[in-house]
Chain A
Amino acid sequence: MKPELMLFWTAVSLYGLSTFSYIFGMIAKQDKLFSVGLFSALAGFFPHVAVIAMRWSATGISPFISISESLTLGVFMTMLLFLVFQFSTKKVRPLGVLVMPVSFVLLGWAGTLMKEVAATLAPALQSGWIWVHIVGASAGFASVLIAAGLGLLYLLKERNSGGIYEKLPDLNVIDVMAYRFVSGGFILYSLMMISGCFWSNQVKGNYWGWDPVEVWSLVSWLTYGIYLHLRVTFGWRGKKMAWYALIALIAMIVSYWGIPFTVETFHSGFRIDHN
């Protein structure tokens, strides 16, 4: 096996181990297992970063283009945010119980779709806007995934008590934390949309064309815009918002990687193709 693939699957395995530790920690109410989960996530992060670095240095072309690379970046941002959040506050230790399984599955999926590094970058992608765009999209995803994780903990704590649930912050603190992550995610999504508009304006001269990728990102943006308004103008809190965050996460994964990548968005016309 090539070193790149070996590292990749090591990262996936460690995230898998972390996933099981968190889930069993939850079932057995053993918070020591959360530490195992956190440290195996940290251990998996190193090979994960190494894979990205190796792909990047192989050709000098940013390895964030294909669906597999995009998933790898999305999980990278999630892990980065998750680890920073976990090591800077010790308040919500079981957070990985949603974040890790999702990351594990997405990265494993990326592995099955992995291709060789591209040799050239299509001219339309040779733009500075692509950086703002992919950072906004992946970091936005990371934030709303963590918000959904907090939503799940909210719902669990509401139904259970004692043991690990005692150590969790108060319900309304979890609720506000989730709201913070959605607000941050919404700003990042806005950044993704704006840079996408500018990028399209640079390449095609129009900032919006109702092209499938554009509409899908509008869907994710509207979903969280509605979340914020349910909160600030309708006063929704707690349980309803927690459910919303969880369901919206599914919508997010579908609208990012589920469908847009399978449709052809760049109009094929009379352009000369020199093989």
Chain B
Amino acid sequence: MSNIDTPSGSEPEQYPIEPRYHPIHKIPRKIYDFFASARLAMALLVIILVCCLTGVTIVRGEQAWNLIFNSLWFNALLVILVVNIACCFFGRIWYRKLTVISFGMILFHVSFVAILLGIVYNSLFYFRGTIRLTEGEVLLSGDPQSYDIIDKGRFFSFSRLKGETSLIRVNTGYKIGGEDKRAAYEVSVGEEDNKKQGVIYITHKLTHDGFDYFNDKEGYSLLVTLADRHGHELYGAYLPLQSIKQKDDSYLYATGHKEGSKVKASVVLFPAPPVKPLFAMQLAYQLSKVKERDGVAAFELYALDNNGMTKDGPPYATGKAAIGGKFAAGEYVLSAKEVRYWVGMMVRYEPGKTIVLTSLWVALAGMIITTTGRMLKSGKK
């Protein structure tokens, strides 16, 4: 075998390379030998590779996430792999001369272990939430009720989230240096004397007190008021609309809900509970082509039975009115007074992420150092 390909150069090797470091006692030694086996490492790598391939071919998407990537056994495999790498690599590199080549390798494998530690640390303290706000709305940041979805680590405490979160305005067609960012949210977070305000869009987040705010999704919301025949206003609410893709690729903006990955048009109770509902309403909004935040609202009203459930059958009243206009239905008058935007914003706190992201560069540097070391060495020959 030529000297160039011998891994550590000066010392001839037996393959597979065997560990040089061994604990003395019997039981720790058994455990250690198990983890320090290069065959175990190869087997794990191949199994993980096969799982990945399965997760993008045979089962896919959400199913793959549930069955494989988010499962306990798959994550356990990853943990075992890292323990295995640690034992394998450090057992073998022990007592070996420190050279450019082995230094790079040490950097590389250390950062692998650091990545795992970062992930574990993060999993204990992280917070991920989706907060939904209409323009002008202010919610308490530390109140779990303010979030649609919450996912958090065992040791995360809501007291970290201080003050309020508010959406000031959404700007559509937002441009930066000629690049169309589509939608940008002007938001403000934090408490009285420690507040931060800023604009977020798809490649630009807002960071405050370790929490990151990302834009996620946005939609229209119509302020719908209910008045009696004499014009006395009885009730009003912002009704968020979903954008629903139609067969001809156009979009319908209407009250709706999400079913699996599909968004479907559906009715909402109006007024919304706890106020006693009078009817169920399907609301749709047609954008004005000439003016932002203008257009026509279409109403469909359905009667409720004694239990407050929507009765089957056609709507008992339908009608349209321009934004700001009126639609009379029986003894009531409905009006879509104004158009605002609602947004879904992701709030994230990931204290271990910096360790992970930094380690990635350290790993790359290690690889480059090892490769350069090998090049230099063979260049000298």
Contacts and interface: CB of A to CB of B under 8 A. Distances in A.
B353 A207 contact: yes
Contact of A234 (B16, B61, B179): B16
Nearest to B341: A272
Interface of A: 120-121, 123-124, 126-127, 172, 175-176, 179-180, 183-184, 186-187, 190-191, 194, 197-198, 201-207, 210, 212, 215-216, 218-219, 222-223, 225-226, 229-235, 237, 259-260, 263, 268-275
Contacts of B60: 212, 263
A223 B49 contact: yes
A5 B275 CA distance: 65
B202 A203 contact: yes
A120 B180 contact: yes
Contacts of A273: 243, 245, 251
A175 B378 CA distance: 14
B57 interface: yes
A207 B201 contact: no
Closest 4 CB pairs between A and B? A235-B15, A210-B69, A123-B202, A270-B217
Contacts, number: 153
Nearest to A201: B357
Given A187-B371, A194-B361, A205-B212, A272 B218 contact: yes
Given A205-B214, A210-B55, A272-B219, A222 B363 contact: no
B356 interface: yes
15 contacts: A126-B181, A183-B371, A187-B367, A202-B205, A205-B205, A205-B348, A205-B350, A210-B64, A226-B42, A231-B5, A233-B16, A269-B217, A269-B344, A272-B253, A275-B251
Chain A at the B interface: mostly helix, strand, loop or mixed? Answer: helix
B128 to A, nearest CB: 8
B180 A123 contact: yes
A225 B344 contact: no
A120 to B, nearest CB: 6
Nearest to B1: A237
B335 interface: no
Given A191-B364, A235-B13, A219 B243 contact: no
A212 B348 contact: no
Contact of B57 (A204, A233, A259): A259
Contact of A190 (B16, B344, B363): B363
- Size category, B interface: 35 or more
A187 B55 contact: no
Interface of B: 1-2, 4-5, 7, 13, 15-17, 38, 41-42, 45-46, 48-49, 52-53, 55-57, 60-61, 64-65, 69-70, 88, 92, 172, 179-183, 201-203, 205, 212, 214, 216-220, 242-243, 245, 250-251, 253, 258, 261, 263, 344, 346, 348, 350, 353, 356-357, 360-361, 363-364, 367-368, 371, 374-375, 378
A270 B242 contact: yes
B246 to A, nearest CB: 11
A154 B367 CA distance: 26
Contacts of A172: 2, 5
Contacts of A197: 357, 360
Given A207-B353, A212-B56, A237-B5, A229 B218 contact: no
Contacts of B245: 273
Given A222-B48, A231-B5, A271-B243, 12 more contacts: A176-B378, A187-B367, A190-B367, A191-B364, A206-B348, A210-B55, A219-B52, A229-B42, A233-B16, A233-B17, A259-B56, A272-B183
Given A123-B202, A232-B7, A268 B52 contact: no
Contacts of A260: 56
A209 to B, nearest CB: 9
A206 to B, nearest CB: 8
B362 to A, nearest CB: 11
